Structure 1
Amino acid sequence: MRAVELLRFATGAIIAHPMRSALTSLGVVIGVAAVVMMTSIGLGAQQRVTSTIAGLGSNLIIVSPGAARAGGGGGFVMGAAGSGQTLRDSDAEAIAKQVEGVVAVAPVVRGQAQLAADGANWNTRIEGVTEDYLDARDLSIATGRMFDDREARQGRKVVVIGQTVARELWGDLDPLGRRVRVRGVPFEVIGVLTSKGQSGFGQDQDDIVLGPLEAVRSRIVGRRARGDTVQTIYVKAADGDSLDRVQEDTSTLLRELHRIRPGDDDDFQTQNMASILQASQAAVSTFTTLLAAVAAVSLVVGGVGIMNIMLVAVTERTREIGLRMALGARRSDILVQFALEAITLSLVGGLIGLLIGVGGATAIARLGSWPAAIPAWAGPVALGFSTLVGLVFGAYPSWRAARLDPIEALRRE
């Protein structure tokens, strides 16, 4: 029998029982749709993590204080990570001068403040920084300028604001040169940052005010930052290849400056953005693989369903098989016909599941403001696995049909 005739017979058998064929393919539909959706969600999560960490700055090392310790009488009570006050301006200056491969060092103090200007008010976060902050965090000025080193050292009352702050306080008006009161202290707006939008965790990166380090520390943060202490030091390496070395040299230098003896714990923490990104992506990738593996179980269940229905079909069509053999059909023709039926059922189910999976992944992305990351290989792999499922689980029923004795088959009622 020609291949076209075998395909026509297989298709006709499937169309003859539409409801049974649909239910048979349902397991494959669910399996393929689930795998495509889980994979898409996982890749979307990876993209979101990547964009979030990249938004902090490239080739960046974040130095933060260790946990605060308090207590007496032979015991200490540890505070939360980063709650200590062990970093100072001098640490940032030493890193900038003594660590090779560093292009920007930016000490930071931060707090939350209520702003008031021209009858409007807005609560936002304010950070006291130096002029190197823009380079360290890969930020830029949209209009106006950044305060210079002299203004930062003198603690001049000037600020650079984000787009959200500008919109909430002045709407469409130009904020440059206007006065804004931060906790009652008047500051002049000299610049507006270029918009960065929301971070991967939903934080508005444009809802921020940058002021000179000394001015913010003394007038806004107040008692929470004693003396010349800072809450974070951003260290930007010249390139990604030198990032690990710069991190190690920074840690070594800070241990020397803080007079930490060998074997004692550091009173600071350093975080490498590249390492954090790699670890986060690995965790998300593992989670995605696990979800996809669980979803793939549905494909096995769908394959078992195809096998069961094909075995029933062999029993129901025993006389038909015997008649075809009596008219000259070879055993290989019967084998191929039933295999084609199983593959067609699985392949159609895979195609429907692929469409549902792509549609579901896109809908989830829109509802949750999640990146719709549908891999290019989703289609070929989904259809390939569907074909494989049909071939594997249709093999035994096809073999059973081909092994029937034509005389016994014709006698079967």
Structure 2
Amino acid sequence: MRQSFKLALRSIWGNKMRSFLTMLGIIIGVAAVIVLVSLINGYMDSVMKSFSDMGANQIQVNVTNLSSRAVNSGQMYGFYEENTNIFERMSPVVNVSGKVRNGEKSLKYTAVSGCSEQYGDMKGLKIKAGRSILYSDIESRQRICVIGGYVAKKLYGAEENAVGKKIKIGENTFDIVGVYEIKNKQYSESGGEDDFVWIPFTVAVKIEKNANIGDYIFTVRNVSKANESVERIQKFVVEILKNKELVRVMAMSKVLDSMNKQMAMISGLAGGIAGISLLVAGVGVMNIMLVSVTERTREIGIRKSLGANKGAIMQQFIIEAAVTSSIGGLIGIIFGCFVTAIVGKMINITAAPALNAVLIAFGVSVAIGLFFGYMPARRAAGLNPIDALRSD
């Protein structure tokens, strides 16, 4: 076995260009699998983090109120207070239309929402300057607001500068009482998660002239009980509206599970598509090894005449094919990791080489060397020593 390895390495080193061309397909195939799977996993992680930041423990409720039957915020608060052993927080959500501006400066895509004093905690945000909305602000319908870090920087230059200043939403003026920290400076942009203005939901209802709120967000104390929580909310609302088609209750944890499965399938498909290049590389390995057998017919004849049996000849050529593909696989791993890091930075995602992709790609490359090296090895082992010695 050791002698076969030495002969294999000597043959590879003695025919550098041919060996490199043999490895090239393996290198490209392994690198393609690693790059594709790693980039998709990196993108998946980025998307999943965004959804997780929205709150894996959240349940979103959308109610279509009718003129004859409707669910109001008082009823929802009553339901929440009766089930605080299951629900940790609750907030009505009222979308408010109107451009956000400060003097001549304005923002086009800022999301304006009416919410409760618990909304910031539900979103996992921390106050950078000032304070958050208070229960007293909601009760007394104060014209105050809290804003995201992006809004503060764009309209006032810095988070600290915004507190105590006024801001206009459409034709309505509000006093800024607090600014939330920017969650991710790298992704702080127009329309992003830091581009928002929140006001007391009681004020938002008055501005929008909508007595019945249609959207609510709950957070559960235990994510594993999300299904039970969804059923409980749905049952409560249906009892009032008498029509289950008028309510939609969605647990974010279930959305995340569904996305995880879909992304895993996409990652597997991408890896499979890239893996086709490894099969093509295997055909190249077989062809080059067949050429090698033809070129070394006389060498095989000499070895056989000196007593080498079929097994030894087969072992030599199979090991040579396996070593060639293994070296190609290792180079492909290094190249794939390098390209993954560069492309990840270019498209602004954190993409680390996926360990499963590296192991699978290398394992397949070695298996391909063994599989496609078998036929040339068998042909070499089957040569008649007399005919082989006569070969030029």
Aligned residue for 2:218, secondary structure, equals strand
Please tell me whether residue 109 in structure 1 is matched to residue 94 in structure 2.
Answer: yes
1:90 aligns with 2:74: yes
Residue pairs, 1:187-202, within 5 angstroms: 187-197=174-184
Q: Is the 8 A contact 1:52 1:199 kept in 2?
A: no
Normalised TM-score (structure 2) = 0.91
Contact kept? 1:177, 1:189, Cα under 8 Å? yes
**Residues 1:213 and 2:201 are matched in the alignment:** yes
Q: Name 1:356's counterpart in structure 2.
A: 335
The residue type equivalent to 2:101 in the other structure is A
- Quote the offset at 1:118 in angstroms: 5.5
- 2:363 is the counterpart of 1:379: no
Other-structure match for 1:411:
390
Give the aligned partner of residue 77 of structure 1.
Answer: none
Is contact 1:40-1:374 (8 Å) kept? yes
User: Are the equivalent residues in 2 in contact too, given 1:62–1:233 (CA < 8 A)?
Assistant: yes
Cα distance, 1:373–1:251 mapped onto 2, change above 3 Å? farther
CA distance in 1, matches of 2:101, 2:122: 29
In structure 1, what is the Cα distance between the partners aligned to 2:301 and 2:115? 87
What is the SS of the residue equivalent to 2:249?
strand
Give the helix-richer structure, 1 or 2.
2
Q: State which of 120, 137, 141 in structure 1 corresponds to 2:127.
A: 141
Aligned equivalent of 1:335:
314
| 1:112-161 CA distance string (max 9 Å, x none) | 43233365333422111111212322222222111211211221011111
Q: Matched residue of 2:162: which SS?
A: coil
d(CA) in 2 for partners of 1:6, 1:360: 34
- 2:96 partner SS: strand
Q: Where does residue 74 of structure 1 map in the other structure?
A: none
Deviation at 1:231, TM superposition (A): 4.0
Partner of 2:139: 153
> TM-score, normalization: structure 1?
0.86
Determine the structure 2 residue equivalent to 1:130. Answer: 116
> Which amino acid in 2 is paired with 1:97?
E
- When residues 299 and 86 of structure 1 are mapped into structure 2, their CA distance, relative to the original with a 3 A threshold, is farther
5+ residue gaps, structure 2, are: none
Percent identity over the alignment is 30
Question: Does 2:286 align with 1:313?
Answer: no
Q: How far apart are 1:245 and its partner, in Å?
A: 0.9
Q: Note the C-alpha offset of 1:286.
A: 0.7
Paired position in structure 2 for 1:72 = none
The yes-or-no answer on 1:120 pairing with 2:138 is no
- Within 5 Å, which residues of 2 pair with 1:8-407? 8-65=6-63, 88-99=72-83, 100-117=85-102, 120-123=105-108, 124-172=110-158, 174-197=161-184, 203-219=191-207, 222-223=208-209, 226-227=210-211, 229-260=212-243, 265-407=244-386
Change (3 A) 1:341 1:241: same
Q: Give the 3-state SS of the residue equivalent to 2:367 in structure 1.
A: helix
Q: Structure 1 residues 95, 140: closer, same or farther in 2, change over 3 A?
A: farther
- Does the 8 A contact of 2:73 with 2:92 survive in 1? yes
Alpha carbons of structure 1 residues 296 and 240: separation in structure 2 relative to 1, 3 Å = same
Deviations, residues 34-88 of structure 1 (Å, cap 9, x unaligned)? 211221123123212321211112311011235x99xxxxxxxxxxxxxxx9653
3-state DSSP of counterpart to 2:183: coil
Which deviations, in whole Å up to 9, do the C-alpha atoms of 1:294-334 show, x marking residues without a partner? Answer: 22121111112211221221122111111122234343332
Distance, in Å, in 1 between the alignment partners of 2:198 and 2:87 is 23
Note the C-alpha offset of 1:9. 2.2
Moved beyond 4 Å, runs of 4+: 198-203
Length, aligned pairs only: 386
